[in-house]
Chains A and B, each alone.
Chain A
Amino acid sequence: MSRKSERLVNLTIALLATKRFLTKSEIFQSIEGYEGSEDSVERMFERDKDDLRSLGIDIEVGGLDPLFNDEAGYRIKPENYSLDLGPVTGEDIALLSLAAQAWKGQALNDVAHSVLLKLQSMGIDSDIDSVPHLAPRMARASDELATVLEAITTRNRIAFTYLSPDLAHESREISPYALASRAGHWYFGGLDSAKNSLRTFRLDRVVGEIQNIGKPDNFEIPPNFDLFASMNESSQTHVAVLDIRKDKAFALRKMSTNSSDKGEWDRITLNYSDASSFLDSILWHLDDVVVIEPPDLQKQVIASLTLLVKNHG
């Protein structure tokens, strides 16, 4: 193992240090480790180039002196190789480090660890005392998050099996545009080409593995894509008026846009968009909530209560 990595490091150093393109024969003659028959050395070099590129190292291929334009040459431009974040302060480093630390022990742990090492190698001290004392942590995600992330960065389409509302297994194929997390869950979304519409999926409803399909650079990500906007089929908001008991229904109280004191109760006004989950939330609060408006919602609550009596009486 160390023979190969030693050769890769030496190749990187040589290609970085050279001002002009190095030809293959120069590389084979001067860099340690390219030993064996001509064929095997060629194959070794091809693999090494692929390996360095898989690490994100940009190897440029170019001609030599126009008079001897018979063999391709290689080099790595230092400006492409090195980290350049522009002017950064110790405070910026502290914020970026916190952003990476949020992944500690989570789905992107290894990626974030490598980022942290780079930030710590810049020779700029992190000014952690200047930023608020925070301990950010990402919501839990399955390892498939890394696959979605990779697919977004390489613009690769993905295929997966998804649990429908009645727990049937559905096959889906999308061009993934974005990732987000809300209320402890991870979501990803993009264009479902079979349905020709934007769809959002909850990561923990994916069954098994997510597969990359097709080739990279398959699509463009629209700059203003909003994952949560495409999640609700109807983005229409409704207004509700509720009576809620004092010191109760904290979750609904937090959503209120207006509140007036009625003694034992408070009358609050609030907006909601997902009618079905709003109904569930009203019922969750039992007899601490009374729906005053809209009439539709009141009817639904009465129907639900009637059903509860019938089923449990």
Chain B
Amino acid sequence: MAKAKPAPIVHTERLLALVPFITAHQGISLKDLAAAFNVTTKVMNDDLTTLWMCGLPGYTALELMDLSFDSGYVTIRNAPTLRAPRNLGMEEIVALLLGLSLLKDSIGENMDFVDRINALAIRLSEKAGIPANFDVSNPVSSLIRGQIIEAISKQQPLSIAYHSLYNDEFSHREIKPLELRIDKGVEYLFAYCYKASSFRVFRIDRIQSLEILEKNPGQQSDVNDVASHGFISSIIFSSKLRLMKERFGLEDAQINENISIHSFSKQWIIRSIFASSGSAVLEAPSEIAAEIAQKAELMLNRYLAL
């Protein structure tokens, strides 16, 4: 990990950042200022007390910054030297370049903005003397995430086109979005589904498109997607261990050892075994193993008939 900066350095950095921030937000409340800097109001109060003692050599009323914050609102005068925000550091520029690349990926065909983003990236890249060869994307569209966040805050129902990965099926659902959750880096939407008349969890990267609905859809009685119960499979790996570890979401993997995998979707297990044909064998449950053999046989016959 990158080394953490020592406390006095972090403190100095914050003090230097405070002066231009207050200058641009004269009269900001102490509470809002503390929140902007992610510190408590107590810490912010101490910071302002320290800054109040700073200024040009001489340190008389003429040279010190004129900082007022007793009323709970903060203003600053007489701080021309530190008024401009500090230059961006190299890491800050790269963080921005990566962010701009993601933005470009999210914005799609809107060429005006793509050009705008490219121009900003070139300017930053030249400033830092570092090539802007960053290529960033995320399976979750920034547009879809933005629409969901807006719908949650306005309590608006949505119509979504959802592709279920394990069943390889498209469905259109009307939902009331409730909360975004992240589990092991995967983003989920917790929602009430009018189709299932029940609460459901959707992977956001599987939402292909969505539309904000003006009013709540009525109750629908199409309840054929019952949540499945979990079960345990026993699998043996024979090669490509890293791929197997990642595909089955394991902490570690060994050759020729029985590994127990808990899952909720039979489809996922069957598909994963097929995709890992030379490297993984399902030992149990035996009825799933039989289903795999049967399905593979059926597919083989189709090839032989070609």
Which residues, 162 to 208 on B, are CB-close (under 8 Å) to A?
A: 163, 168-170, 182, 185-187, 205
Main DSSP-derived SS at the B contact region: helix
Residues of A contacting B218 with CB < 8 Å? none
Interface residue count on the A side (C-beta < 8 Å):
121
7 pairs of residues in contact across A and B, judged by CB atoms under 8 Å:
A4-B8, A9-B16, A17-B81, A111-B89, A149-B94, A150-B91, A249-B168
Most chain-A CB neighbours within 10 Å: which of B90, B170, B299?
B299
Q: B223 an interface residue at 8 Å Cβ cutoff? A: no
Residues of B contacting A283 with CB < 8 Å? 274-275, 277
- Chain A residues with a Cβ under 8 A of chain B: 1-2, 4-6, 8-10, 12-14, 16-17, 30-32, 51-52, 54-57, 78, 80-86, 91-92, 95-96, 98-103, 108, 111-115, 117-123, 131-140, 143-144, 146-147, 149-150, 152-154, 163-167, 177-184, 205, 209, 221-228, 247-250, 280-281, 283-288, 290, 292, 298, 301-302, 304-309, 311-313
Residues of B contacting A304 with CB < 8 Å? 274, 277-278
The interface stretch among B54-62, B66-74, B225-233, B257-265 is: B54-62
| A298 and B302 within 8 A (CB) | no
| B85 and A122 within 8 A (CB) | yes
Residues of A contacting B116 with CB < 8 Å? 91-92, 95
| A287 and B295 within 8 A (CB) | yes
B286 to chain A minimum Cβ distance, whole angstroms, is 9
Residues of A contacting B20 with CB < 8 Å? 118, 121-122
Most chain-A CB neighbours within 10 Å: which of B8, B50, B98, B239?
B98
Most chain-B CB neighbours within 10 Å: which of A143, A163, A308?
A308
Q: How large is the interface on B (under 10, 10 to 19, 20 to 34, 35 or more residues)?
A: 35 or more
Which of B87, B145, B168 is within 8 Å of A80, CB to CB? B87
Known: A5-B15, A286-B271; 14 extra A-B contacts, CB below 8 A, are: A32-B57, A54-B9, A81-B84, A96-B96, A99-B103, A111-B89, A111-B91, A114-B13, A135-B145, A143-B2, A178-B135, A181-B135, A283-B277, A308-B273
Given the complex of chains A and B, what is the CA–CA distance between A309 and B300 in angstroms? 9
